[in-house]
Amino acid sequence: MRDIQHCDRETEETVSAMASQQSRLAGNDPRGTAEDGSKWRLADWSTAATVRAVARRRLADKDRGLPFSPELVPLMSHALVRSRDDAVQRMILGQKLHSYFRFTTHLELKAVLPACTMIGLKESAIRTTDEFAHDGFKIAVDEAHHAYCAEDMKQQLTAITTIRPYRERPPAFLRMLAGERDALDGKFKQLALLAFTCVSETLITSSLANVPADERVIRAIRDVIMDHARDEAKHHGYFSCFMETMWAQFTVEERDVVGPLFAKFIGTFLSHDAEAESDWLEAAGFSGADRTRIVAESYEAIDLRKIHRQASKPTVALMNRFGMLDHPATADALAAAGLVE
Ligand SMILES: [Fe+2]
Ligand SMILES: [Fe+2]
């Protein structure tokens, strides 16, 4: 019996066939594996990874671009914000950038890197090949580098502008993730972290996808986000493979407990952080009453379910491919969250 299946599919038909084969194998032997002969791709990591290939990104004093794309910050469309001058709007975008990078740091160091450490050291409940485990160290290095680059860019921004991070709280997703894990016993705490990591590593956030192409944004900021996106494209393949392996090896009980968490974690990862947004407005001088109003009203016309459905498409497609939607509780959770149509 092999301990890891190999990933990346040639065609959807192959995918479906493999998924159903995998389901059958898993049904007979919950720790069984699927086989398809293809692989994740990190062979060129030593020369292609950002940490090895790209020099430090530096902010230039003369660069007067925006800190972030305004369209990705719903508060920026509110009439009370639009009526204020450039300095106020720039402060909100700057605070958004600080929050975005700090979110990245927490995500990498407190969720993804611990998951990669478990995989690399073969301390996770999911069995993998030695090669797959070894590649976990590459991703661990990437994630530490992404966290460093995020903090480095925050520090550079603080050094050359008046935009200093204002009351940085731990991001909301961390509290939600901790709450979910606290409610679980024993091995399920670990499996929940692995499932959260599979979600965060396989979906595509609007910031990662759109900021690099926005020429209004400061060049070094776009570059560092683009560097991150390039690495994450590789990680997507690795964690797709891990997700498939994990699901194939799960027992019925593990599927019942962890499967529905995928829908929950998509929401956890993508939800906006209302407390942080209020902090950005406070930094820009808005009163408490205005902050509450702006945060609430900025989301009234936005269909968050639709946005989450769009962003999570890659993850949900993989779940479908791996037979996870054949599991009723997992499929029901996705439907209840509005993540499948
Ligand atoms: Fe990353
Ligand atoms: Fe990653």
Q: What is the pLDDT of residue 9?
A: 39
Q: How far is the CA of 13 from the centre of ligand 1 (A)?
A: 31
Degrees to nearest 5, angle at CA 289 with 287 and 293: 115
Q: What is the pLDDT of residue 7?
A: 56
- Ligand with an atom nearest the CA of residue 238: 2
Please report which confidence band the pLDDT of residue 5 belongs to, taking 50, 70 and 90 as the band edges: very low
Q: Summarize pLDDT for 264-317 with one digit per residue, the tens.
A: 999 999 999 999 999 999 999 999 999 999 999 999 989 999 999 999 999 999
Other C-beta atoms closer than 10 Å to the C-beta of 170 total 14
Between these two residues, 15 and 219, which has the higher pLDDT value?
219
Between these two residues, 39 and 230, which has the higher pLDDT value?
230
Specify which residues 217 forms β-bridges with.
66
Q: Would you call 66 helix, strand, or coil by DSSP?
A: strand
- Ligand with an atom nearest the CA of residue 197: 2
Report which of 266, 241, 263, 264 is spatially closest to residue 321, judged by C-alpha positions.
241
Q: How far is the CA of 235 from the centre of ligand 1 (A)?
A: 8
Other C-beta atoms closer than 10 Å to the C-beta of 213 total 11
Other C-beta atoms closer than 10 Å to the C-beta of 329 total 14
Spatial distance between the Cα atoms of 309 and 62, rounded to a whole number of angstroms? 39
Q: Summarize pLDDT for 10-61 with one digit per residue, the tens.
A: 323 333 333 333 333 233 333 333 333 347 889 999 999 999 999 999 998 8
Please report which confidence band the pLDDT of residue 251 belongs to, taking 50, 70 and 90 as the band edges: very high
Half-sphere exposure of 56 (CA within 13 A, CB side): 8
pLDDT, average across residues 80-93? 97
Spatial distance between the Cα atoms of 335 and 56, rounded to a whole number of angstroms? 43
Percent of the chain at pLDDT exceeding 90: 83
Report which of 75, 268, 92 is spatially closest to residue 171, judged by C-alpha positions.
268
Least confident of 54-63, 176-185, 214-223, 274-283: 54-63
Report which of 237, 255, 151 is spatially closest to residue 201, judged by C-alpha positions.
237
Q: Would you call 217 helix, strand, or coil by DSSP?
A: strand
Least confident of 13-17, 121-125, 142-146, 160-164: 13-17
Please give the C-alpha separations between residue 281 and each of 51, 93, 108, in angstroms, as whole numbers.
Answer: 35, 10, 26
Spatial distance between the Cα atoms of 128 and 132, rounded to a whole number of angstroms? 6
Q: What is the pLDDT of residue 131?
A: 94
Q: How far is the CA of 228 from the centre of ligand 1 (A)?
A: 6
Residues whose CB falls within 8 Å of the CB of residue 333, separated by 6 or more in sequence, listed in order: 259, 260, 261, 262, 263, 264
Spatial distance between the Cα atoms of 198 and 124, rounded to a whole number of angstroms? 14
- Ligand with an atom nearest the CA of residue 201: 2
- Ligand with an atom nearest the CA of residue 42: 2
Q: Would you call 294 helix, strand, or coil by DSSP?
A: helix
Percent of the chain at pLDDT exceeding 70: 89
Q: What is the pLDDT of residue 23?
A: 35
Spatial distance between the Cα atoms of 68 and 84, rounded to a whole number of angstroms? 17
Please give the C-alpha separations between residue 323 and each of 144, 255, 319, 328, in angstroms, as whole numbers.
Answer: 32, 11, 6, 11
Tokens standing for 52?
A: 């090895």
Spatial distance between the Cα atoms of 64 and 217, rounded to a whole number of angstroms? 9
Query: Regarding the domain with residue range 74-336, which homologous superfamily does it belong to in the CATH classification?
Result: Ribonucleotide Reductase, subunit A (1.10.620.20)
Please report which confidence band the pLDDT of residue 101 belongs to, taking 50, 70 and 90 as the band edges: very high
Q: How far is the CA of 291 from the centre of ligand 1 (A)?
A: 31
Residue type for position 235: H
Q: How far is the CA of 232 from the centre of ligand 1 (A)?
A: 6
- Ligand with an atom nearest the CA of residue 138: 2
Q: What is the pLDDT of residue 248?
A: 97
Q: How far is the CA of 268 from the centre of ligand 1 (A)?
A: 17
- Ligand with an atom nearest the CA of residue 145: 1
Residue type for position 317: A
Mean of all residue pLDDT scores within the chain: 89
Q: What is the pLDDT of residue 3?
A: 45
Q: How far is the CA of 143 from the centre of ligand 2 (A)?
A: 6
